[in-house]
Amino acid sequence: MQPNVMNDEDEATLDQIHGCEQIDLLLPDQNGLLRGKRITRDALGKAYQNGVCLPMSLLGTDITGNTVEETGLGYDIGDEDRICRPIPGTLRPVPWASKPMAQALIQMEDANGKLFEPNPREVLKRVVQRYKARGLTPVVAVELEFYLLDADLTEDGFPQTSINPATRRRNRTTQVYSMTDLDDYQGFTDAIDAVCRAQRIPADTAVAEYAPGQFEINLKHRADAVQACDDAIMLKRAIKAVAAQQGLLATFMAKPFVDQAGSGTHIHVSVLDSEGRNIFACTPDAPAETLKHAVAGLQRRADDCMLIFAPHANSYRRFVLNAFVPLNDCWGFNNRTVAMRIPYSDPANIRIEHRIAGADANPYLVTAAVLAGMLDGLKHGGDPGPAIVGNAYEQTELRELFWIDTLRTFLASDWIAATFGADFRHIYGQQKLKELRTFQREVTSLEIDWYLRLV
């Protein structure tokens, strides 16, 4: 690749961070975790021009941070370094830092100086390029649910709901969309709003969700799907950092409590043609054929992509009845019990809300999977069946998901290899296989309770 130079936008951002001493260079890995390094201000120009070295194995690590040797990115290649360069336009201040700092996203190159194709951000870029080749532009918005918890765990090591800042009592009740809850946590939401303004993250809505201490922050839609996911990655970092500053723990774990709602990542997508018209524009009484085809594609590829939507052991705890989590692959207008919801809107702004993924999933990969499934439908057609009216849980066969099954389907999927790349399928699949095997080796407290004295 040609060396980068700091563009005018990044120059202007840096000039506004008076006294900036350090910059965090951030590389989202396959799990969406941020890895990288911290450099001094005087090293930033060199980082743009020549890059910085990071181990290629960072994109072969599992959720515990250990390299999965089966990916081929570790000892097999001598744990080689690769050049990583800042992505122009992603430099932002870090408002929560104790001293003036900045951050920027970086991208990794391969041994030939090209961008490393299995990198999740590159996976998404290739899918978007296929839309562009057809004269189409996906417009994407990401919704993220999360919990604000007590920073201290229980004596047994489990999470607990936070102490309400207003009442000084531990949150116990569910008040979905409660304005009182938002008022009580206004110190947190105001701080997030300030960070988003400073980092140009287009967040516009905060709501109290369906569990004590659970919230959702929505991002505005963008006609750049990659940038929409950059926003989501930066927002997640900001939420965690601000929560820690306020003595709280923010988690995007899919299901931290067995008896409370899980947290999801909802992807909203419309598609514009070359003249800027929404190809899904329609009314519920007369759904557009393009809309039905896109939904049919999502249905057809749901099993192939389930490991992306539900990447961890805990992800599967979220799929329970009557918790606003889809246990099916059906669709419907203005209906939160379906997997592919068409939210209420005027005809010109009709979009698909994909509701399967957990908040623990990588936004780049989830969006890539959603867009690829929709494109499969737009290319090959299909009938999604009638739109569900009413309770989809009672009208459909409920899907029962197991991690090992989704992993096997993913590794055997020719469509995944053809759509996202065989190298990506191998690396991501081997990471998840290692995580599953490590998880299954553990002896849990429930096993001790059930079996120790009785067998």
**What would the pLDDT profile of 132-145 be if each residue is shown by its tens digit?**
999 999 999 999 99
- HSE-CB of 404 using CA atoms within 13 angstroms: 4
Q: For residues 97-109, b (16+ Cβ closer than 10 Å) or e, as one string? A: beebbbbbbbbbb
Across the chain, mean pLDDT equals: 94
For the chain, the structural domain boundaries read 8-115, 127-420
pLDDT of residue 397: 87
pLDDT band at 2 (very low <50, low <70, confident <90, very high): low
Nearest to 20 by CA among 220, 156, 198: 198
pLDDT of residue 169: 87
pLDDT over 70 at 176, yes or no: no
pLDDT of residue 372: 98
- Same topology, domains 8-115 and 127-420? Answer is no
Model's pTM, two decimal places? 0.96
Q: How far apart are CA 188 and CA 109, in angstroms?
A: 38
**What would the pLDDT profile of 329-356 be if each residue is shown by its tens digit?**
999 999 999 999 999 999 999 999 999 9
pLDDT of residue 180: 77
Architecture of the structural domain at 127-420: 2-Layer Sandwich (3.30)
**What would the pLDDT profile of 214-223 be if each residue is shown by its tens digit?**
899 999 999 9
**What would the pLDDT profile of 20-70 be if each residue is shown by its tens digit?**
999 999 999 999 999 999 999 999 999 999 999 999 999 999 999 999 999
Cα-atom radius of gyration of the chain, to the nearest Å?
A: 22
Q: How far apart are CA 427 and CA 118, in angstroms?
A: 8
- The neighbouring-strand residues paired with 219 are 203
Mean pLDDT of 290-316: 98
pLDDT over 90 at 98, yes or no: yes
Token output for 196: 């988003």
pLDDT of residue 321: 87
Architecture of the structural domain at 8-115: Roll (3.10)
pLDDT of residue 385: 96
- Specify whether the CB–CB gap between 215 and 263 falls below 8 A: no
Nearest to 392 by CA among 439, 361, 356: 356
SS (H, E, C) the chain: CCCCCCCHHHHHHHHHCCCCCEEEEEEECCCCCEEEEEEEHHHHHHHHHHCEEEEHHHHHECCCCCECHHHCCCHHHCCCEEEEEECCCCCEECCCCCCCEEEEEEEEECCCCCECCCCHHHHHHHHHHHHHHCCCEEEEEEEEEEEEEECCCCCCCCCCECECCCCCCECCCCCCCCHHHHHHCHHHHHHHHHHHHHHCCCEEEEEECCCCCEEEEEECCECCHHHHHHHHHHHHHHHHHHHHHCCEEEECCCCCCCCCCCCEEEEEEEEECCCCCECCCCECCECCHHHHHHHHHHHHCHHHHHHHHCCCHHHHHHCCCCCCCCCCCCEEECCCCCCEEECCCCHHHCCEEECCCECCCCHHHHHHHHHHHHHHHHHHCCCCCCCCCCCHHHHCCCCCCCHHHHHHHHHHCHHHHHHHCHHHHHHHHHHHHHHHHHHHHCCCHHHHHHHCCCC
Please name the residues in contact with 41: beta carbons below 8 A apart, sequence gap of 6 or more: 20, 21, 22, 23
